[in-house]
Structure 1
Amino acid sequence: MKNCSCPYISFDFKSRFLPPVFILVFIIGLATNGWGLKSLLHKWKKLGIVNVFVLNLGLADILYLLTLPFLMVYYFRKGEWIFGDAFCKITRFCFNLNLYGSIGFLTCISVYRYLAIVHPLRVMGRLTVTHSVTISVMVWLLVSVQSLPDMFYVKTTNKNNTENCFDTTSKDYVEDYLRYSLGWTLTGFLIPLLITLGCYGHVIVVLCHTNTTDKVLKQRCLKLLFILILLFSVCYIPFHVLKNLNLWSRVLSKQCICHEWSNGVYIAQQISRGLVCLNSALNPLVYLHVNEDICAQLRQLRERARQGVTWLPVTPSEDPPT
């Protein structure tokens, strides 16, 4: 193997950047997802078709959030993994299930909204909760099949008596992993993204050209579209672009082809890793626009708070001296 002296890569950046992000996401994500799931399960008998997808979205978030404390310890110890190879693979597998499960269920919500608005007569009465449960199981199976090969790559290695836990794989297998990652990006991210954009693009066209459409429905659809664009733009697109670009940089470095931009790509990729985990904190925004019961609860809480402020006793003040 060739020994190359490429420009310095600041590997310690992730130990400074990721732990605070993980702490923030863990606290906010656990609170918002726990509240959202509790609200959904409270109305279990009235659980609608879309809410089944939202429920699975929340479960995917909780699954990932429970692994964050171990990653916090890992990065606080400056890249020293103390939990063993098997648990390293499980932790990375849970991240992938959350990431691609979230994308899958957001796509299902988009398709259902499209069918309900653009083809209501064809869909009404034909789609049931049983169908959505079956589709959800298929999404979990598909995401698991896509993520399973990742577990067969080397995830841990000892360097200077310190065990690392890779989110991709070691240098020895990086070429093969890049090919796998590109295929994974196509099937797990790009195709769902195109489906989501196609569905909501058509929905917006229909809503804008139909004067009889309820204004509240228009607003809810536009807000949900905005949230999905936010999730894909902030969380998903940068992560996939920079992940594959960083892998390509590692392949070139292994071939002794060095570039000055490698360090910038690495730092940007670590930032994108922080952004992509924000989806576990941002996904509950979807709850607000597909579940009317939760919106009603928020309105009640806001009204109670407003009444509480209104009924606060006012202490009479003395007249100012003249």
Structure 2
Amino acid sequence: MNKSSCPRVSFYFEHRFLPPVYILVFILGLVANGWGLKSLLQNWKKLGNVNVFVLNLGLADILYLLTVPFLVVYYFMGSKWIFGDAFCKITRFCFNLNLYGSIGFLTCISVYRYLAIVHPMRVMGRITVTHSVGISAMVWLLVSVQSLPDMFYSKTFRNKPGKCYETTDKNYVEDYLNYSLGRTLTGFCIPFLITLGCYGHVIVFLCRTKTTDKVLKQRCLKLLCILILLFSVCYIPYHVFKNLNLWSRVLSRQKICSEWFNGVYIAHQISRGLVCLNSALNPLVYLHGNEDILAQLRRRLQQARQIFSRLNLANSGCVPVAQAADEVE
């Protein structure tokens, strides 16, 4: 297909789609992570080895969520960045730290669960909180080194102010595609396979061991479902469509066009919204691993149901309104 017949890519889709998603993620993410981190810090003495990774997972989410309002302004203004080129790169760097840091800490949680369940006698007393802290530091270091090259790619087009590309401009897109594929392999594919291998082995081990506590089996299955949800909804679509979109830009630069370019671009923008949801969905790991939070959540939900039921009765005339108002206060 020649260049004149190339379909027009709908670049304005991101301006309509991303801002509402970012606002939702910002609100839900701050509330969920703030609540989860507060509970973890209040029970710091009770923290196990795995919860050190959970704590770092929450810190990675908070780091990214603090940059979301600037992205909301950017897309509301029609992709016009007013905060400077340096802060643009910092914002994108924080996104990469959150994304690959989250994947790294989820992988660490999976490995620890695997060792504790399948090889408990080998690791008993050998893995301490100090080890978890050291491993967490290594995860931060590796993710930072892995994401640092992204900051050296141009985030503007021909040095014109106003743009803040997620990747880079078209002049460097071929090199960036190679970098993105390498980061996808090391930062996503390998950790994903490790996570699947660990929990696959855990599930097989628990099913074969008749003496294993049923509660432990249920908790492991729930955590496996949470991780599958995170990877399937947030991580897999993003990496697939990001690299396909970069490939389409490479082909366009080579004057090779195809009808699927627009569809891939829109799918990539949707996957960008979905990958941000990891900051709001990661607290599911808190809820799974901390019974205190679960108990608090049940109490809050029960109180909310009672309040709404009393308000409904008051509105229907079955309960005096003043009494219902006193009970709500």
Percent identical residues: 79
Residue type matched to 1:169 in 2? T
Q: Which amino acid in structure 2 is aligned with residue 156 of structure 1?
A: T
Alpha carbons 1:40, 1:47 under 8 Å: kept: yes
Structure 1 distance, partners of 2:82, 2:294, is 43
**What TM-score, normalized by structure 2, do the two folds share?**
0.91
- Contact 1:89–1:151 at 8 Å: present in 2 too? yes
Q: Match of 2:14?
A: 14
Structure 2 unaligned spans of 5+ = 320-329
Find out whether 1:214 has 2:213 as its counterpart: yes
Contact 1:57 1:283 in 2 (8 A): yes
Residue 88 of structure 1 aligns with which residue? 88
Q: Does the aligned pair in 2 maintain the 1:88–1:156 contact within 8 Å?
A: no
1:183 counterpart residue number: 182
What residue number does 1:264 align with?
263
**Post-superposition offset of 1:316:** 6.4
For 1:135, the equivalent position in structure 2 comes to 135
Distance 1:78 1:303, change over 3 A: closer
Report deviation, 1:290. 1.5
Q: In structure 1, how many angstroms separate the alpha carbons of the residues matched to 2:174 and 2:60? A: 30
1:38 aligns with 2:35: no
Separation in structure 2 between the aligned mates of residue 222 and residue 193 of structure 1, nearest angstrom: 17
Deviation at 1:173, TM superposition (A): 0.4
- Aligned positions of 1:41-52 closer than 5 A: 41-52=41-52
Residue 232 of structure 2 is aligned to residue 233 of structure 1: yes
Q: Distance in 2 between matches of 1:137 and 1:76?
A: 36
Structure 1 residue 291: deviation in Å?
Answer: 1.9
d(CA) in 1 for partners of 2:218, 2:65: 31
Partners of 1:11 and 1:164 lie apart in 2 by 13
Alignment-derived partner of residue 320 in structure 1 = none
Q: 1:248 and 1:307 mapped to 2: Cα distance?
A: 54
Q: Which residue of 2 aligns with 1:286?
A: 285
Note the C-alpha offset of 1:307: 7.2
* 1:214-263 deviation per Cα after TM superposition (whole angstroms, max 9, x unaligned): 11111111010001000000000000000000001000000000001100
How far apart in 2 are the matches of 1:133 and 1:9? 46
Change (3 A) 1:310 1:154: closer
Give 3-state SS (helix, strand or coil) of 2:163's partner.
Answer: strand
Total equivalences in the alignment: 314
Q: Using structure 1 for the length normalisation, give the TM-score.
A: 0.93
| Separation in structure 2 between the aligned mates of residue 25 and residue 305 of structure 1, nearest angstrom | 23
User: Aligned with 2:162: secondary structure?
Assistant: strand
- Distance in 1 of aligned mates of 2:318 and 2:26: 45
CA distance in 1, matches of 2:244, 2:310: 58
Pairwise CA RMSD of aligned residues? 2.1
Distance 1:311 1:123 in 2: 52
Amino acid at match of 2:239: H
- Structure 2 counterpart of 1:247, which letter? L
**Structure 2 Cα separation of the partners of residues 268 and 167 of structure 1:** 15
Q: Decide whether the 8 Å contact of 1:171 with 1:250 is kept in 2.
A: yes
User: C-alpha distance in 1, partners of 2:223/2:49?
Assistant: 17
In the alignment, what sits opposite 2:156? 156
